[in-house]
């Protein structure tokens, strides 16, 4: 499970996928399979969440890793390269971006 806390040194990655309502469910299924079968088993993986907008034309993925290098190593595997090609065929674009948590706000 992701742990959003500015005190940790985890690598946060937010990836957005732009798709059509006609491919959103299929892409979400492939992403879910990727996490179930491969990504969640990689060294340094902490947790992730998949989010779909109400128009079903965007999927946002939030993931956390122990280290930046863990995420990069996962991306370089043949397994993930093949999966990324499938993701790319189902959306107009996707972009993973690495972030540091700058601040966290909780309901008082």
Owning domain of residue 73 = 11-99
Each residue's pLDDT tens digit, 28-80: 999 999 999 999 999 999 999 999 999 999 999 999 999 999 999 999 999 99
pTM of the model: 0.91
For residue 62, is it within any domain? yes
pLDDT band at 5 (very low <50, low <70, confident <90, very high): confident
**Strand residues in 54-106 grouped as ranges (E):** 58-65, 93-99
pLDDT band at 8 (very low <50, low <70, confident <90, very high): confident
For residue 105, is it within any domain? no
For residue 104, is it within any domain? no
């Amino acid at each position: 499970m992701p742990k959003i806390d500015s005190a940790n040194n985890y690598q946060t990655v937010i990836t957005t996928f732009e798709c059509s309502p006609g491919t959103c469910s299929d892409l979400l299924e492939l992403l879910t399979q990727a996490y179930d079968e491969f990504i969640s088993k990689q060294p340094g993986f902490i947790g992730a969440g998949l989010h779909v907008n109400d128009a079903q034309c965007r999927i946002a993925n939030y993931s956390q890793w122990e280290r930046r290098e863990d995420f990069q190593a996962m991306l370089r595997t043949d397994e993930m390269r093949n999966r990324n090609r499938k993701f790319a065929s189902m959306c107009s674009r996707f972009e993973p971006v690495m972030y540091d948590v700058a601040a966290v706000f909780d309901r008082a």
